[in-house]
């Protein structure tokens, strides 16, 4: 699983990267908003874990961008990992569309479980969307067949009527 960690504190980022890699995750880490958006313009991770307060902006803005950007980036599960721990902060992040919000200090097992959980939910949703798209495509093909048959039948009847009119004249 590919994880993007957006964290400006080097000690925290090094520890989290090491811990996630020990749990068989491929982790890339960036330390600010600009690098995060540049990274996301070229790569699509499976999960994003982001601090809120960053040197050149905040994780809320990154999440707003991702949830509004439907042409470049597919839905990516997003987890906040932040020292901003008031109810209002957490509610704001969740209302923006975060999949979870963990507060610092945190338990590493909790982060790992959260990453697996949001990834699993996203995978299930993706599978459901693929099934619906397949079903829709199948129904569209059926509609096209009905249109073709109906169109041919109507043309054939019109030709018969036209021939009868010609014969009557």
Alpha-carbon distance of 64 to 118, in angstroms, equals 18
Question: Average pLDDT per run of 10 along the chain, which is 169 residues long?
Answer: 97 97 98 96 94 96 85 78 95 96 95 96 78 85 81 76 79
Predicted local distance difference test score (pLDDT) of residue 93:
96
Predicted local distance difference test score (pLDDT) of residue 74:
65
Predicted local distance difference test score (pLDDT) of residue 130:
78
**Is the bond into 105 cis (omega within 30 degrees of 0)?**
yes
Dig out the tokens for 162 from the structure.
Answer: 């036209």
Predicted local distance difference test score (pLDDT) of residue 126:
72
Predicted local distance difference test score (pLDDT) of residue 150:
78
pTM: 0.77
Burial class (CB in 10 A: 0-12, 13-18, 19+), 115: buried
Task: Say if CB 111 and CB 49 are below 8 A apart.
Answer: yes
Alpha-carbon distance of 28 to 45, in angstroms, equals 9
Phi, psi of 4 (to 5 degrees): -105, 125
Predicted local distance difference test score (pLDDT) of residue 73:
61
Predicted local distance difference test score (pLDDT) of residue 19:
96
């Amino acid at each position: 699983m590919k994880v993007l960690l957006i964290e400006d504190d080097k000690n925290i980022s090094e520890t989290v990267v090491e811990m996630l890699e020990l749990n068989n995750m491929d982790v890339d880490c960036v330390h600010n908003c600009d690098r995060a958006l540049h990274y996301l313009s070229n790569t699509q991770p499976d999960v994003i874990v982001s601090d809120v307060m960053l040197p050149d902006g905040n994780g809320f803005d990154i999440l707003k961008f991702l949830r509004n950007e439907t042409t470049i980036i597919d839905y990516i599960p997003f987890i906040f990992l932040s020292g901003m721990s008031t109810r209002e902060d957490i509610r704001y992040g969740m209302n923006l569309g975060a999949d979870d919000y963990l507060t610092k200090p945190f338990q590493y097992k909790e982060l790992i479980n959260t990453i697996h959980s949001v990834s699993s939910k996203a995978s299930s949703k993706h599978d459901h969307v693929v099934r619906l798209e397949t079903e829709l495509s199948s129904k569209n093909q059926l509609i096209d067949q009905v249109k073709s048959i109906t169109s041919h039948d109507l043309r054939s009847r019109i030709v018969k009527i036209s021939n009868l009119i010609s014969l009557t004249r």
